[in-house]
Structure 1
């Protein structure tokens, strides 16, 4: 079996042409992939340019160097991770802590079961829990016992005591309605 040298020469030229075209296509695709990948991983234009030039000049060794040096996470992954951390911190901060022992307490607790610190107080009228600094019940509008209402003189207070009228919530409703 004799092969024609001209045929072998043409076959070698065609295979070499395909090989060169493949290497060029591989090189261009690696440069494009690197540019797209670094754009998703870094905001700095200098880093984007240098990474793309590294792969453009060194081809496969440049891709290997780029893979070693590139940021491990994309910007989207970092953003999602930051959101998750913020959500966890918000969940931790939303939990109420006892001012005495700093253990977690529930919102409906009146006293800390661990250190017996008073957390809330009962309204003497409706019985619902109020925060300690509150002077008036937000549920029924009754002032806390021993607290004077604004705009009420000492004579009015004494008159109410003499008449036996102790329910100040009716007066408060009248004052709020403007009568």
Structure 2
């Protein structure tokens, strides 16, 4: 108990001594000293921060010099607005992440094309082939109802349920007056011959 009382007495005496000796000049000196310590702390922080955010030496030197000459009161808000959004480390991992995603997408694309057997010759072909390279069989047909491309061995369209699957795409025909064209063509030839021999 005596030890605790001695510690408490020492703390109280130190506090009373500090309070009795504080003058307005000492407070001003303390505030100025605190400001300069804070200023150097900001300079050190900005040096570390800007070197972590960019490799541009001009931008690094400019940021450090402006904070030295304009004090943190004026420069720090401007610096926080104009500094690069991400650090070099974060940019690296974002790029790595994008590269990994691209690689995964490529792998998915490669694996998306599965192999199956040609309905005619039973040899293994890839799903993205339009014709069998062995027997030249057309591997896909078109649904007559929805127009989707289907494997030639399918009996029903899995998209619309249609049972009528065409081997060839549906084409619309229009009637053209063939006789008129031929007559015009003959007349034109006769006119040309008449003009030449004429």
What is the TM-score normalised by the length of structure 1? 0.52
Deviation per CA, 1:80-100, whole angstroms, max 9, x where unpaired?
0000111111111223459xx
Measure, in 2, the Cα distance between the counterparts of 1:61 and 1:73: 23
What runs of 5+ residues in structure 2 fail to find an aligned partner? 1-18, 117-123, 136-198
Higher strand share: 2
Measure, in 2, the Cα distance between the counterparts of 1:120 and 1:49: 68
Aligned to 2:121: none
Aligned to 2:95: 82
Evaluate the alpha carbon distance shift between residue 120 and residue 64 of structure 1 in structure 2; reply closer, same or farther with a 3 A threshold. farther
Aligned to 2:108: 95
Report whether the alignment pairs 1:105 with 2:113.
Answer: yes
Measure, in 2, the Cα distance between the counterparts of 1:25 and 1:69: 24
Higher helix share: 2
1:71 aligns with one of 68, 73, 84: 84
Greater CA radius of gyration, 1 or 2? 2
Aligned to 1:54: 66
Measure, in 1, the Cα distance between the counterparts of 2:128 and 2:56: 53
Aligned residues: 109
Alignment of 1:120-139 (within 5 A): none
RMSD between aligned alpha carbons? 3.1
Evaluate the alpha carbon distance shift between residue 17 and residue 119 of structure 1 in structure 2; reply closer, same or farther with a 3 A threshold. farther
What is the TM-score normalised by the length of structure 2? 0.47
